[in-house]
Amino acid sequence: MSGDRFPARYYLWDRREKKSSLLFSARPKLEGLQLAATKPFDFTARDGMGLHGYLTLPPGIAARNLPTVVAVHGGPWWRDSWGFNPLLQTARQSRLRVVEVNFRGSEGFGKKYLHAGDKQWGLKMETDVLDAKKWAIDSGIADPHRVAIAGGSYGGYATLAAAALYPDEFTCAFEQYGPSNLFTLYDSMPPYWAATVRKVFIDRVGNPDDPTDREMMKKISPLFSANRIKIPMLIAQGANDVRVKQAESEQIVAAIAKNGGRATYVLYSDEGHGFRRAENNLDIYARMEKFLADNLDGRFEPMEGERAPGSTAVVREIGLPSSSATPEATASP
């Protein structure tokens, strides 16, 4: 059993007595703590399509006009679900509201909902995210001047696209292993994607061999609009990622540097697509907390040292004043 305000609990069911007894909690140290509640909400996109999402509120704080993070899930053929989410609880500690968006193209709401996202990367799938932000502002939940966007994988793409294609919408952006150029993403797809996943991408994202699709794919690739990025960025990447390779992050970081933007780029030498090592997750969560606190006025717990103990993080700072930069931070991308 699990819920939004407690971790998974495992029970033994006695069929004869029709009673259950607790075996153990997956995270016993969290038992008894006041955690954030997650509630579903519905909203209407600008074209009239009904959409769904989840709102997580920090406990003990009036639900009005607080800094907010719009979180975009990966896949994109996946979905956010109700339940316990450690990352959402991390945001709760920072007193941030979190808006999760099941934009068109998300699974779990029927085929019409899913296929409404076909060839809508950077287009209607992106404006669904903007409309969820607008819903939070219009509802009095979010401070319009303190809204961040965050996501990994496709969510990382959507974060880069928001910063590049809709540069006035968000205060700052945190993205992990998101593709910045659809053409290089296609060219670098792993061999085991060749027979199945590549065809799905051609059908649902675009065909680079079709002139019309190719023009659209260039328009929605954040790299080609990187000169428009003006908000602070936190970008994280695993060096061993075979799905969204290191070059996807390296080229957008280089473009941000070339155009005088601001970014913190964190590379983990022993991670792939989605970080697995606890030390690295602790490191990036700590950096996320501070980044959001610096830009949204939230709370954070300072990290001791340059990186979390045992983490392989290598950090490059782009756009910092020279007085505060380290030798590693001043290296060119």
Active-site amino acid positions: 153, 241, 273
Say if residue 320 is exposed, middle or buried (CB neighbours under 10 Å; 0-12, 13-18, 19+). middle
Sequence letter at residue 39: K
Q: What angle do CA 152, 154, 328 make, to 5 degrees?
A: 45
Angle, CA of 139, 45 and 96, to the nearest 5°: 40
Which residues, other chains included, contact 134 with Cβ-Cβ below 8 Å and sequence gap of 6+?
Answer: none
Q: Please answer whether residues 178 and 152 qualify as being in contact, where contact means their C-beta atoms are separated by less than 8 angstroms.
A: yes
Sequence-distant (≥ 6) Cβ neighbours of residue 314 within 8 angstroms: 266, 267, 268, 269, 328
- Which uninterrupted H or E stretch holds 292? helix 278-296
Among residues 139, 135, 141, which one has the least CA distance to residue 62?
141
DSSP-based three-state secondary structure for 136: helix
Q: Give the tokens for residue 237.
A: 């990447």
User: Residue 85's CB: how many other CB atoms inside 10 A?
Assistant: 20
DSSP output for 221-285: -GGGGGGG--S-EEEEEETT-SSS-HHHHHHHHHHHHHTT--EEEEEETT-BSB---HHHHHHHH
What is the biggest distance separating any 2 CA atoms in the chain, rounded to whole angstroms? 72
